[in-house]
Amino acid sequence: MPAAESLRAQQFRLAAHIRDPAHAPPPPGIEERRLAIYRDLFYNSLQGLLAGNFPVIRRLLGDDGWHALVRDFYREHRCATPLFPELPREFIQYLQARAEAGRGDKPWLLELAHYEWVELALDLSEASLADAPHDAGGDLLAGVPVPSPLAWPLAYAWPVHRLSPDFQPDQAPATATFLLVQRDAAFKVRFNELSALSFRLLQRLSDEPDLTGREQLLALATEAAAPDPEAFVALGHDMLRQFLASGVILGTRLS
């Protein structure tokens, strides 16, 4: 075998061993002490990064469950990126595949992972308020409301923000959990609960970006089967103003 091909084969064999030392033998001629250093270095680096991004999952699964999950990920998943900040996203993709395969994970695990990842994703987002030109003093009913690119409405079947060692439900509640994750001017990311109505309004602003505030609220009134659409619009106007005051809405679209 040519030297280059031999080296490549050795590298692949070493990588396979580091991923799965129980089932993949190492290349011949490497001292066990050195192999152990490589195994521990690679695994501990990955495990530490994931533990820092998913501290709640780490705590809820406990030592044995957490390390078993990370080792499964390390052994089975093939990442599509070499960037360390993208590894949490790869971990979520792996959990999605496990859920689809029915691996028996906790039913809330995937949503909890997404909830924990969102904080990192928004913290690292390169979006800025300058990406959304707006009139901060525009009429929120007559104009087209502009949502902030740094405020993300989220919906979960599980109460992910309440999960703890003492609260790990086996069945999802009848009512979904609606949250808002937002990054402020100081780059601090915070979460707040939303009502189903306020979540749907923010969702509509993204799904139907060309409607005026009044058109959005009238459509929402129809969805909610409100008996008095004009009264609903008045209440919704207050909701839009609150969103404006908190920076969730920036203003209205520039003409």
pLDDT 10s digits, 127-165: 999 999 999 999 999 999 999 999 999 999 999 999 999
Are 108 and 164 contained in the same domain? no
Looking at residue 121, its amino acid is A
With 60 as the cut, is the pLDDT of residue 1 above it?
Answer: no
The pair phi, psi for residue 231, each rounded to 5°, is: -65, -35
Q: What is the CATH number of the domain that holds 93?
A: 1.10.150.690
pLDDT band, very low/low/confident/very high, at 223 (cuts 50, 70, 90): very high
Query: Final residue of a domain: which of 95, 124, 153?
Result: 124
% of the chain surpassing 90 pLDDT: 80
pLDDT band, very low/low/confident/very high, at 4 (cuts 50, 70, 90): low
Number of structural domains found in the chain: 2
Q: What's the whole-number mean pLDDT along residues 239-246?
A: 97
Are 109 and 219 contained in the same domain? no
With 60 as the cut, is the pLDDT of residue 170 above it?
Answer: yes
> Contact at 8 Å (CB) between 109 and 95?
yes
Are 117 and 146 contained in the same domain? no
pLDDT band, very low/low/confident/very high, at 240 (cuts 50, 70, 90): very high
Lowest mean pLDDT among 52-66, 73-87, 154-168: 73-87
Are 146 and 94 contained in the same domain? no
> If we measure between CA atoms, which residue out of 225, 235, 161 comes closest to residue 193?
161
pLDDT score recorded for residue 16: 86
> If we measure between CA atoms, which residue out of 79, 248, 233 comes closest to residue 147?
248
Residue whose entry in the numeric block shows the structure tokens 């078993």: 68
Are 160 and 110 contained in the same domain? no
Q: What's the whole-number mean pLDDT along residues 191-205?
A: 97
pLDDT score recorded for residue 14: 84
Are 62 and 169 contained in the same domain? no
Query: Final residue of a domain: which of 124, 144, 164?
Result: 124
Looking at residue 154, its amino acid is L
With 70 as the cut, is the pLDDT of residue 214 above it?
Answer: yes
How far is residue 150's CA from residue 204's CA, in Å, rounded to a whole number?
A: 16
Q: Which residue has the higher pLDDT, 240 or 35?
A: 240
Q: What's the whole-number mean pLDDT along residues 206-227?
A: 97
% of the chain surpassing 70 pLDDT: 98
Range of the domain at 87: 31-124
How far is residue 119's CA from residue 56's CA, in Å, rounded to a whole number?
A: 13
User: Does some domain include residue 12?
Assistant: no
Q: What's the whole-number mean pLDDT along residues 8-30?
A: 85
Are 141 and 219 contained in the same domain? yes
Are 47 and 163 contained in the same domain? no
3-class secondary structure per residue, the chain: CCHHHHHHHHHHHHHHHHHCCCCCCCCCCCCHHHHHHHHHHHHHHHHHHHHHHCHHHHHHHHHHHHHHHHHHHHHHCCCCCCCHHHHHHHHHHHHHHHHHHCCCCCCCHHHHHHHHHHHHHHHHCCCCHHHCCCECCCCCCCCCEEECCCEEEEEECCCHHHCECCECCCCCCCCCEEEEEEECCCCCEEEEECCHHHHHHHHHHHHCCCCCHHHHHHHHHHHCCCCCHHHHHHHHHHHHHHHHHHCCEEEECCC
pLDDT score recorded for residue 22: 86
Looking at residue 131, its amino acid is D
pLDDT score recorded for residue 17: 83
How far is residue 27's CA from residue 9's CA, in Å, rounded to a whole number?
A: 9
With 80 as the cut, is the pLDDT of residue 6 above it?
Answer: no
> Contact at 8 Å (CB) between 125 and 183?
yes
Are 152 and 53 contained in the same domain? no
User: Does some domain include residue 220?
Assistant: yes
Measured CA to CA in angstroms, residue 239 lies from 135, 190, 198, 200, 253 at distances of: 18, 19, 7, 12, 18
Q: What is the CATH number of the domain that holds 204?
A: 3.90.930.50
Q: Which residue has the higher pLDDT, 193 or 8?
A: 193
Q: What's the whole-number mean pLDDT along residues 166-175?
A: 96
